[in-house]
Structure 1
Amino acid sequence: MTLSFGVFLLISSVFCCCAHAGCGVVTRQQWDGLDPTQVEYLPRPLGLVVVQHTATPACDTDAACVELVQNIQTNHMDVLKFWDIGPNFLIGGNGKVYEGPGWLHVGAHTYGYNRKSIGISFIGNFNAKTPTKAALDAAEALLKCGVREGHLSRSYAVVGHRQLIATESPGRKLYQIIRRWPNYLEDIDKIKNNK
């Protein structure tokens, strides 16, 4: 009886972990992330994905990517006073996606758009170099899974961070790539915040 209950707990914890992050994402527990200081839920399905870069060094190993994600979270929470790490997801050169606020919670990636979009940040600076094929493939798989799981609408739009605020993000090379993605939105007049 104890064994059955133990197996039940194990299966339950795996299910809860997958239901929260899903899509093959490295959960915040797996990268040893800090708990957010506050949580606000996103409406779903969302129709906007903002692609950016971290403007940090890149990473191509699991250990290096975890260390960078932890450092970014520490900076965002301790220095910038965010509730959590800013982007909903971060993608390393190793082809792994790291959970930030995830599919369910508001991130802090693009001022004025956090409550109506998912922010995906590629780890590195992509002004002069392109992300790895593994990272680009991981982004594509994440977006497809987001639609399949009901987090993103089937008609979601992808924009570059620079289209919404004054920044170089997602970097010149990455921006050239996302402009060729099928869901890329060139004309942002309908989604642009009017201030």
Structure 2
Amino acid sequence: MNYGSVSKTYSIIQLYSPKVAISKDLSDSDIVMIHEGTPLFFRRRRRSIQHHESIINWKVLSLLLILMGGLSIGIYLLIVENHRLDANFRYKLIELNAWYGDYIDSEIFSNEIKLQLPVTNVIVSHTRGNHCYTIKMCSSLINNMIQDDLADIPFNFLISDSGDSYEIRGWNYASGFPAVYNKNESIVVGFMGDFTTKMPTNFQLAELSAFINESIRRKKLVRNFKLYGIQSNDEEDLKLHDGLENMKGWKGIL
């Protein structure tokens, strides 16, 4: 029977026979005897290593694809959630009798123009004053705006930094802004605070969207409404308007 020999380092393969030893340099401890039926395990091992490396590469690639897919889904859900925040943000109205605290004279706005409902315009401005975050804090701030009576406040509604709406003239009486030429067709909403160089909070913008939805639901505002910004003559480029430009119905500045 013929036998072969191979180096344990697999660097040299030689045939071996009882009659002739082709390799004279290998010691007995370096020789492994093989015959014709012995598997070429070194070749299989090489293939096994390549197969193992291929599996690892596919696993790494699959992991990267999963991570990229998860990141894409996360970004998409974040965008969708932001849109849902605007659409489903709960409208939080603090009615006049809840924050004013004193007896409300039913004739307080009797000299004001009544709104012609449903109105077609929503006009947004800011108070250019202090900011507030709680009902107690905001109630005190609004009361400080009153000099003689509630008619001193020209807004229909005020929205705080925390996203609460405070009823002033409500859906009944027109605003007291001279710049609003079609008073009986417009509701004026004021953001409490100074937004000359500062953007409105996300809560304020979401509450404005919720207020618009609620006004439409109550049939106080038409569905194809127009949204405007308003500014005084001494105001130039308000950051307030940057927050309104992407809202539905935006038409520009009066």
Give the TM-score, by structure 2 length: 0.56
Equivalent residue, structure 1, for 2:99? 31
Contact persistence 1:45–1:151 (CA under 8 A) = yes
- Is 1:166 matched up with 2:239? no
Residue deviations 1:121-161, cap 9 Å, x none?
00000012122222211111001111111100011100001
- Tell me, which stretches of 5 or more residues in structure 1 are unaligned? 1-22
- Tell me, which stretches of 5 or more residues in structure 2 are unaligned? 1-90
Contact persistence 1:28–1:100 (CA under 8 A) = yes
SS in 1 for 2:193: coil
- Is 1:118 matched up with 2:191? no
Kindly provide the amino acid, as one letter, of the partner of residue 235 in structure 2.
E
Equivalent residue, structure 1, for 2:143? 70
Contact persistence 1:126–1:173 (CA under 8 A) = yes
Equivalent residue, structure 1, for 2:168? 100
Contact persistence 1:24–1:97 (CA under 8 A) = yes
Contact persistence 1:161–1:167 (CA under 8 A) = no
Q: Distance in 2 between matches of 1:37 and 1:144?
A: 25
Equivalent residue, structure 2, for 1:11? none
128, 138, 160: which one aligns with 1:55: 128
SS in 2 for 1:29: helix
Contact persistence 1:84–1:107 (CA under 8 A) = no
Task: Label 1:135 to 1:44 Cα distance change in 2 as closer, same or farther (>3 A).
Answer: same
Q: Distance in 2 between matches of 1:152 and 1:101?
A: 15
- The structural deviation recorded for 1:100 is 0.8
Task: Label 1:93 to 1:32 Cα distance change in 2 as closer, same or farther (>3 A).
Answer: same
- The structural deviation recorded for 1:84 is 4.8
Give the TM-score, by structure 1 length: 0.72
- Is 1:156 matched up with 2:225? yes
Equivalent residue, structure 1, for 2:201? 132
Q: Which has the larger radius of gyration?
A: 2
- The structural deviation recorded for 1:116 is 2.1
Contact persistence 1:31–1:66 (CA under 8 A) = yes
Q: Higher strand share goes to which structure?
A: 2
Runs of 4+ in 1 over 6 A off after TM superposition: none
- Is 1:176 matched up with 2:245? no
Q: Distance in 2 between matches of 1:83 and 1:60?
A: 24
Equivalent residue, structure 2, for 1:91? 159
Aligned residues between the structures: 158
Q: Distance in 2 between matches of 1:138 and 1:157?
A: 17
SS in 2 for 1:30: helix
- The structural deviation recorded for 1:166 is 2.8
Q: Distance in 1 between matches of 2:234 and 2:230?
A: 7
Residue deviations 1:19-68, cap 9 Å, x none?
xxxx6411110011654252542101111111000000111122211111
- The structural deviation recorded for 1:167 is 5.0
Root-mean-square deviation over aligned CA pairs: 2.3
Contact persistence 1:50–1:118 (CA under 8 A) = yes
